Structure 1
Amino acid sequence: MPPAHPFDDDKLREECGVFGVVGVADAASFVALGLHALQHRGQEAGGIVTHDAETGFNQARRIGLVRDNFTSPEMMARLPGPIGIGHVRYSTTGSKGQTAIRDVQPFFGEFAMGGAAIAHNGNITNALQLRRELIERGSIFQSSSDSECIIHLMARSMGRNIPDRMEEALRKVEGAFSIVAMTRTKLLGCRDPLGVRPLVLGKIGDGWALASETCALDIIGAEFVREVKPGEMVVITAEKGVESHFPFRPNRSRFCIFEHVYFSRPDSILGGRSVYETRENIGRELAKEAPVEADLVCPVPDSGTPAAIGYALESGIPYAMGIIRNQYMGRTFIEPTEQIRNMGVRLKLNVNRALIKGKRVILVDDSVVRGTTSRKIKEMILDAGAAEVHFRIASPPTAWPCFYGVDTPQREKLLAATMSEEEMREHLEVDSLKFISLDGLYRAVGEAQGRDDNAPAYCDACFSGEYPVAPSDMMEQGFQAKTAAE
């Protein structure tokens, strides 16, 4: 199966999305709706597990989109019960490209005190080490996913119940994770000690919900209660409500700043802030830092739109939809043969020629990774008769790979890892190219003084090269993390 956007390999791939409910009738339908709202976080595959008093645990894991797999009455009837969890996946570890059904979450395990299912967003940075140790002790792995390590660690725990076992297992795990899990009666949620990946708590009637983003609560009519705190585990039952545990030592939060830039939906709330408003603020900061004389501000749709609006408002230059996105360009539209691939982004984006011709155009995009798509878009704009093309990027240069649940190219394939800003401008062949500064990005997300280099408030490793959790497995394979001298 081709990737979600087979003609665009120039974006960081979203991680995964998790969702769970307890204390509702027909939990599977709520989970399917929640996963549909989180589809932007993973389009390769999805799965749902529920529990019913009569039929026990029920599960379905499928390749493809939620709408294609979890909408039929027949499918939903096979997933009865008042409690359920689900997961949408983009492969960041394990198999790439061709998703194997064995890697689709949630994973299920049968323990002495009953069954449990678990779904994980993020990446375990010591998974290879853990897998080796577990296999040496007799564990048999069924998937290539790092998430399965948690199930095996729980199986070996001597905890009195499943929440205790999950706590013990997670203390052995390094990296970034937001987890939803379930037993026959309990819904569990947990974030890593640094809170790198998001997880929110909601209330729906007499029941409760956990989700990667607030937009998934909105779709089921749930009230947003709060974010699960970094290092917190919540244990939720229909009868007792939410119990909070803190299995890890307190630590300073390092939430992923790229969630504000790109990953999260613009209608979600992060850290009490509207993602849309934050992205508009990013555009305003960018206009202050990198002004240029031009006739139009145009977003690279759709991810560049809020920042482009902010840039236009701050600069006073008119905002215009100079590029139109084909909303129906899906993965099954046409087999991506070499001839079709050569059409590049034209299958997905088209220039509004009448608007662009003769104009000096500012193109606002969220990021530049390899630079391949940026060059194609620039060519399309010039072919349409633009007088000048100026790129403004709503994030700092992406010069380092992410090891916390985001699929990024090897460092040498990142344009900013091998070129200066001026060299990138020459490579892209545009009139000007400017990225927002790291301080400017911090100001846009609410840090008025910019980035505190001694105690950064966010994980910004993809920009700074400063990894808050050592990428143990990758360093074992020879990856050179940034040193203090750099």
Structure 2
Amino acid sequence: MRPFLSHPFDDDKLKEECGVFGVVGLADAANFVALGLHALQHRGQEAGGIVTYDPEDGFNSARRFGYVRDNFTKADVMATLPGSISIGHVRYSTAGSKGATAIRDVQPFFGEFSMGGCAIAHNGNLTNAAALRRELIERGSIFQSSSDSECIIHLMARSIQKTIAERIKDALRRVEGAFSVVAMTRTKLIGVRDPLGVRPLVLGRVGDSGWALSSETCGLDIIGADFVREIEPGEMVIIEGNKVESTRPFTPAPSRFCIFEQVYFSRPDSIIGGRSVYETRRQIGVELAREAPVEADLVCPVPDSGTPAAIGYSQESGIPYAMGIIRNQYMGRTFIEPTESIRNMGVRLKLNVNRALIKGKRVILVDDSVVRGTTSRKIKDMILEAGAAEVHFRIASPPTAWPCFYGVDTPERSKLLAATMSEDEMRDWIGVDSLKFISLDGLYRAAGEAAGRDPKAPRFCDACFSGDYPVAPFDKIEEGFQMKAAE
């Protein structure tokens, strides 16, 4: 039995793979990393790990299943992690095992090399990991985990470069896919983004002596760090003392940042590309109201991810915003192994309808996405049972018709509702009066691209909507995945 599970009623949402965080130049660095990981908990709730280095004790690590707050706030655990340099990782697995032995897959990973030790935390997914793994095993590598990220350590071990930083460069030049990496040696904190910049990574300053790397700016906020800048696509930064060295180890490529970070993954209080994630999501609602108006009495978010878009829809349409659905904030992981009778309650365990508000009303429900559609059907049933006169769904992303291979846990394509049904068929299957998605152009406009999406040079990775994969998923193609035919 798995020691920790994502909530059994959250399986109709796309899930980020992980978040990474690191600091250098701070006493008790692990405490800062724990705070940063707590702020990034939304990026992975399955497990977390922290590595530190102290001149007297050397490298130390702690890896645990569950929430950061339940593991890395305990004095006995934190006492084993001394030092002024540390990195950490929170995980939701997309690659690697999910059984009771999966603690071996929890990052950061560590390797001892002739020039010293190095720990690595990776956000993203390597699309050629299976091929690399076969090659490395044939050449004598012995893997300790089933994670694709461990390939980086083994590639470093086979490099002939003289420094850790150069070996990281060597290794990452061999991998394909998406990666934002935070690494540490005894004295250096290192951050790297893949050439397309698919996954995020930012740099922060802590007081006069400290530096931080984080998947999102909200991780900097919690430790009182000043945001310096985003690590750019294809950039490596090496931080030692008060010096930040920047290099460009990869062939330049047009940026393709994951647009679903704007829609759902990133926290709304984070800043991406100089723009508030909250404001982008609110603007998505504005665009939705322009593209898909409907007469109604209330605009209600599906909490919590639909809230900013619902506010924007209400503001643009003039239809009152209301909390028609209330989320149970204290559910936690109470029902890790639910009985069948409890499981059949479905979303009622975490969401409840505000009946007095809903009864007799024409309701617009705003949600961030439709994946399998099962949750949408259950929410519709709850709204109708509460006496709503009409139910209209407005979705703050285009139809999710293709799986992601760059660090997002996505069902296989046959299980994505939009891959097998038209919009009208989805509307009938969910059983609502109307169903409309924001267009891909509308999503781009909301994200700051006034002209919409340029099909010849899209600014974002939108493969889950368009089927346009910026990096061919080699491993999946080898398994039989069919790419979208050229139009």
Give me the identity figure in percent: 81
Alpha-carbon distance in structure 1 between the residues aligned to 2:41 and 2:334: 16
Match of 1:133 in 2: 135
Counterpart AA for 2:294: V
Pair 1:392-2:402 in alignment: no
Pair 1:362-2:364 in alignment: yes
Q: Is the 8 A contact 2:7 2:335 kept in 1?
A: no
Match of 2:233 in 1: 230
Match of 1:59 in 2: 61
Deviation (angstroms), 1:219: 0.1
Match of 1:218 in 2: 221
Cα pair distance change 1:6/1:98, threshold 3 Å: farther
Counterpart AA for 2:187: T
The 5-angstrom pairing of residues 224-263 of structure 1 reads: 224-238=227-241, 240-263=242-265
Counterpart AA for 1:484: A
Counterpart AA for 2:164: I
The 5-angstrom pairing of residues 67-82 of structure 1 reads: 67-82=69-84
Match of 2:206 in 1: 204
Deviation (angstroms), 1:255: 0.1
Match of 1:148 in 2: 150
Match of 1:464 in 2: 466
Alpha-carbon distance in structure 2 between the residues aligned to 1:97 and 1:327: 28
Q: Is the 8 A contact 1:45 1:99 kept in 2?
A: no
After superposition, give the CA deviation of every residue in 1:373-400 in whole Å (9 maximum; x if it has no partner): 0000000000000000000000000000
The 5-angstrom pairing of residues 402-417 of structure 1 reads: 402-417=404-419
Matched residue of 2:334: which SS?
coil
Q: Is the 8 A contact 2:5 2:336 kept in 1?
A: no
Q: RMSD over aligned Cα, in angstroms? A: 0.9
Alpha-carbon distance in structure 2 between the residues aligned to 1:97 and 1:232: 35
Matched residue of 2:16: which SS?
coil
Q: Could you tell me which runs of 5 or more consecutive residues in structure 2 were left unpaired when the two chains were aligned.
A: none
Q: Is the 8 A contact 1:106 1:118 kept in 2?
A: yes
After superposition, give the CA deviation of every residue in 1:232-270 in whole Å (9 maximum; x if it has no partner): 0000012x4210010001111000000000000000000
Matched residue of 2:441: which SS?
helix
Alpha-carbon distance in structure 2 between the residues aligned to 1:334 and 1:145: 24
TM-score, structure 1 normalization: 0.99
Match of 2:108 in 1: 106
Alpha-carbon distance in structure 2 between the residues aligned to 1:334 and 1:186: 40
Deviation (angstroms), 1:329: 1.1
Cα pair distance change 1:91/1:130, threshold 3 Å: same
Q: Is the 8 A contact 1:199 1:210 kept in 2?
A: yes
Matched residue of 2:408: which SS?
coil
Match of 1:174 in 2: 176
TM-score, structure 2 normalization: 0.98
Deviation (angstroms), 1:4: 2.1
Q: Could you tell me which runs of 5 or more consecutive residues in structure 1 were left unpaired when the two chains were aligned.
A: none
Alpha-carbon distance in structure 2 between the residues aligned to 1:95 and 1:334: 18
Deviation (angstroms), 1:96: 3.3
After superposition, give the CA deviation of every residue in 1:153-191 in whole Å (9 maximum; x if it has no partner): 000000110000000000000000000000000000000
Deviation (angstroms), 1:78: 0.6
Deviation (angstroms), 1:99: 6.7
Matched residue of 2:15: which SS?
coil
Aligned residues: 484
Alpha-carbon distance in structure 1 between the residues aligned to 2:100 and 2:312: 39
After superposition, give the CA deviation of every residue in 1:204-256 in whole Å (9 maximum; x if it has no partner): 01110000000000000000000000000000012x42100100011110000
Pair 1:477-2:479 in alignment: yes
The 5-angstrom pairing of residues 331-350 of structure 1 reads: 331-333=333-335, 335-350=337-352
Q: Is the 8 A contact 2:281 2:308 kept in 1?
A: yes
Cα pair distance change 1:60/1:334, threshold 3 Å: closer
Alpha-carbon distance in structure 2 between the residues aligned to 1:454 and 1:68: 47
Cα pair distance change 1:298/1:337, threshold 3 Å: same
Matched residue of 1:453: which SS?
coil
Alpha-carbon distance in structure 1 between the residues aligned to 2:35 and 2:304: 22
Cα pair distance change 1:328/1:78, threshold 3 Å: same
The 5-angstrom pairing of residues 90-101 of structure 1 reads: 90-96=92-98, 100-101=102-103
Match of 2:297 in 1: 295
Q: Is the 8 A contact 2:94 2:409 kept in 1?
A: yes
Cα pair distance change 1:98/1:437, threshold 3 Å: farther
Cα pair distance change 1:98/1:290, threshold 3 Å: farther
